[in-house]
Amino acid sequence: MTSIIFIHPDGRNVCIEANGAESAMLAATSHGIDGILAECGGNAMCATCHVYVDEAWLDRLSPMGSEEDALLDGAAAERLPNSRLSCQIQLTPELDGLVLRLPDRQV
């Protein structure tokens, strides 16, 4: 199991237990986290599963691909240096405790 903490824009924290073999997006949507829309279902096409990765964790994620990079330019909320698409964050046991902040909007 991998714990992930989602922080909503209003400061509310939600901790979920992911089974570890999925993406952060899938873990979020299957645990009913509002604020992750994932309209395309994880196919890296829509930029509606945008998250801000807590700085402490940023370097531990696999690097961003060019598709994800381009999609983030079209994200509804402001793109920041720690912006990622959660469908592209593959969970591993090493990411236990990962902290992701949710943007104020996805569309």
Partner 1 sequence: MSAGISSAPMQVSGSKPPSVPHVDIDPFAIDFFDDLYPAQEALREAGSVVYLDKWNVYGVARYAQVHAVLNDPQTFCSSRGVGLSDFKKEKPWRPPSLILEADPPAHTRTRAVLSKVLSPAVMKQIRDRFAAAAEAKVDELLRRRHIDAIADLAEAYPLSVFPDAMGLQQEGREHLLAYAGVVFNAFGPPNELRQTAIERSAPHQAYVAEQCQRKNLTPGGFGACIHAFSDSGEIRPDEAPLLVRSLLSAGLDTTVNGLGAAVYCLARFPDEMARLRANPSLARNAFEEAVRFESPVQTFFRTTTREVEIGGHMIGEGEKVLMFLGAANRDPRRWDEPDRYDITRKTSGHVGFGSGIHMCVGQLVARLEGEVVLAALARRGVAIEIDGPVKRRYNNTLRGLESLPITIKPA
27 in contact with partner 1 (CB under 8 A): no
Quick one: which of 15, 17, 55, 74 contacts partner 1 (CB under 8 A)?
74
77 in contact with partner 1 (CB under 8 A): no
- Minimum CB distance to partner 1, residue 47 (Å): 4
Q: Which two tokens stand for residue 55?
A: 């700085």
93 vs 68: CA distance, rounded Å: 23
- Minimum CB distance to partner 1, residue 22 (Å): 12
Q: Does an H or E element contain 100, and which? A: strand 98-101
